[in-house]
């Protein structure tokens, strides 16, 4: 395949860094690279302002660190200054490439509008299936060939946050010879063939695991976070029950036409995995409860705040392929939906509401996708058929190659979070043991967004692991 075409579309400097914006032309489908169907992938190259000028980006000779964002379906925020992880990486001698993964940001973004031209549900499903980690990694490799074409060093390094870490392990499986150092923050993926082990671990009150060799470090993380929430805000037990009782008997419309159902309100628990996420949910619970007590309905202001807190309308790729990011040769079959029914005493409103004890809490859910979301979220409704096709798809290609991971020569360091409700810790530890030389830091110091909360601490520890500067 010919080297990808590219162009630099803009250059500017902000507070100590110069940013070059690139567009790379790559195949839509790497199984049919000569079909002629191309997409454009966007990236920002960030270098110290004193080491490059707007006419010669290659003046900077620093090694590359490519950053892959969490998701699926989230773009990289534009760096506005030499701060945070950008500062940490530049201070360690790198230039940074912030990639908008395909389907996000400026990289062939997926939205209701862009999917309308794809016709039938089957055509939409086929298109959406091309936006997983395998295609993202192929894009990265094409970009590496372009940017390092004239460089003596043909390898680059990678920092993957959350789903970006999933992509990093796929990269190690597909192109291990292209990577020098790999840093993974909250994103060592399970190497299973589907999502069932993940949701079993996140839902279950049991320490029985679906992967027989998994270490029994912890379980029931979503339940633990719910318990912590209600311990911190005990009055919210009754407030949440009252709110859900109201939603179960009233159709509550959100500003964009979505429906605030019982299940959708419970999905606010997605924030429990982030620092201060419980406080954010508590404020919404308090406001909705106040509205019902004083006004007798949930006001427009509160409904607007709830809608803004839930990003599935603005990130439909996340909802459509979230379970598919785990699939290798088997369908997801709505994994979160199926396994939730086994734990109804905690998560199902109709089960808990019938309990005579009003002090029994109704739990929020976590990072799970349910069929009802394709009715409740306005932008997802027309994708209901495509989502059903994706959930039953059986021919998902492989994402990981364990023999290749067993012998990789890239240096790999990872942080996994003990209380992570997004990426199961037990399965991450098992997966890390399959990556040759991977050094893993397991900590309860942070939640899933530790890289954002304290990039100096997280990256500092990972670089020390890379350099073996630990006992």
DSSP for 239-279, written as a single string: HHHHHHHHHHHS--B-TTS-B--HHHHHGGGGGGGSTTHHH
Question: In degrees, to the nearest 5, what angle opens at C-alpha 410 toward C-alphas 213 and 136?
Answer: 85
Q: How many angstroms from the chain centroid is the CA of residue 53?
A: 34
- Which of 89-103, 151-165, 233-247, 328-342 is the least confident region? 328-342
> Which structure tokens are listed for 250?
């009233």
Residues in the chain, total: 471
- What are the helix (H) ranges across 267-356? 277-294, 300-309, 316-321, 335-340, 344-347, 349-353
87 membership: H or E segment, kind and range = helix 84-91
Predicted confidence band of residue 347 (pLDDT cuts 50, 70, 90): low
Structural contact between residues 33 and 16, judged by C-beta atoms closer than 8 angstroms: no
pLDDT at 469 over 70: no
pLDDT score, position 385: 97
- Which of 17-26, 204-213, 276-285 is the least confident region? 204-213
Q: What percent of the chain has pLDDT over 90?
A: 81
Tell me: the pLDDT tens digits for 151-183? 999 999 999 999 999 999 999 999 999 999 999
- Which of 27-41, 159-173, 253-267, 396-410 is the least confident region? 27-41
d(CA 155, CA 204) in angstroms, rounded, equals 42
Predicted confidence band of residue 344 (pLDDT cuts 50, 70, 90): low
- What are the helix (H) ranges across 159-209? 163-174, 196-203
85 membership: H or E segment, kind and range = helix 84-91
pTM of the model: 0.94
**Which residues have CB under 8 Å from 443's CB, separation 6+?**
415, 416, 417, 418, 450
Predicted confidence band of residue 205 (pLDDT cuts 50, 70, 90): very low
- Annotated catalytic residues are 162, 420, 448
| For the chain, the helix, strand and coil percentages under 3-state DSSP, each to the nearest 5 | 45, 15, 40
Tell me: the pLDDT tens digits for 124-149? 999 999 999 999 999 999 999 999 99
Beta-ladder partners of 17: 14, 48
pLDDT at 411 over 90: yes
d(CA 116, CA 18) in angstroms, rounded, equals 37
d(CA 200, CA 31) in angstroms, rounded, equals 33
User: How is residue 469 annotated by DSSP?
Assistant: -
pLDDT score, position 356: 62
Q: What percent of the chain has pLDDT over 70?
A: 93
Paired sense of beta strands 179-185 and 156-161, if any: parallel
pLDDT at 25 over 80: yes
């Amino acid at each position: 395949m010919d080297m990808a075409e590219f162009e630099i579309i803009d250059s500017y400097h902000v507070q100590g860094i110069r940013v070059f914006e690139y567009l790379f032309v790559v195949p839509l489908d790497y199984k049919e690279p000569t079909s002629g169907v191309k997409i454009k992938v966007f990236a920002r190259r960030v270098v110290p302002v004193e080491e490059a000028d707007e006419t010669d980006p290659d003046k900077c000779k620093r090694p590359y660190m490519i950053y892959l964002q969490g998701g699926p379906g989230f773009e990289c925020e534009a760096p506005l200054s030499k701060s945070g992880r950008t500062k940490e990486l530049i201070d360690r001698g790198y230039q940074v490439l912030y990639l908008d993964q395909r389907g996000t940001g400026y990289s062939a973004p997926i939205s209701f509008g862009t999917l309308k031209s794809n016709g039938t549900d089957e055509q939409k499903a086929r298109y959406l299936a091309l936006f997983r980690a395998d295609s993202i990694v192929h894009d990265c490799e094409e970009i590496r060939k372009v940017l390092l074409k004239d460089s003596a060093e043909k390898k680059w390094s990678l920092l993957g946050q959350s789903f970006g870490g999933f992509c990093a392990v796929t990269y190690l499986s597909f192109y291990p010879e292209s990577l020098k150092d790999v840093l993974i923050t909250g994103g060592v993926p399970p190497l299973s063939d589907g999502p069932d082990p993940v949701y079993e671990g996140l839902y279950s009150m049991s320490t029985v695991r679906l992967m027989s060799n998994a270490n029994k470090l912890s379980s029931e993380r979503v339940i633990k976070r719910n318990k912590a929430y209600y311990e911190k805000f005990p009055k919210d037990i009754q407030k949440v029950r009252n709110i859900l009782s109201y939603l179960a008997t009233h159709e509550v419309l959100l500003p964009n036409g979505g429906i605030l159902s019982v299940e959708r309100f419970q999905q606010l628990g997605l924030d429990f995995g982030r620092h201060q996420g419980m406080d954010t949910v508590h404020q919404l619970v308090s406001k909705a409860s106040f509205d019902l007590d004083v006004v007798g309905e949930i006001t427009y202001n509160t409904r607007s705040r709830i809608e803004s807190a839930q990003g599935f309308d603005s990130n439909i790729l996340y909802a459509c392929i979230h379970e598919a990011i785990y699939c290798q040769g088997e369908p997801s079959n709505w994994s979160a939906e199926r396994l939730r029914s086994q734990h109804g005493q905690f998560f199902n409103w109709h089960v808990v509401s019938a309990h005579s004890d009003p002090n029994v809490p109704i739990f929020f859910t976590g990072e799970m996708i349910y069929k009802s979301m394709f009715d409740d979220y306005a932008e997802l409704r027309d994708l209901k058929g495509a989502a059903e096709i994706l959930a039953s798809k059986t021919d998902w290609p492989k994402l990981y190659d364990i023999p290749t991971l067993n012998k990789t020569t890239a240096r790999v360091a990872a942080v996994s979070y003990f209380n992570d409700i997004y990426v199961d810790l037990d399965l991450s530890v098992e997966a890390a043991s399959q990556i040759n030389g991977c050094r893993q830091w397991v900590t309860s110091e942070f939640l899933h967004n530790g890289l954002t909360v304290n990039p100096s601490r997280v990256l500092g520890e990972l670089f020390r692991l890379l350099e073996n500067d630990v006992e």
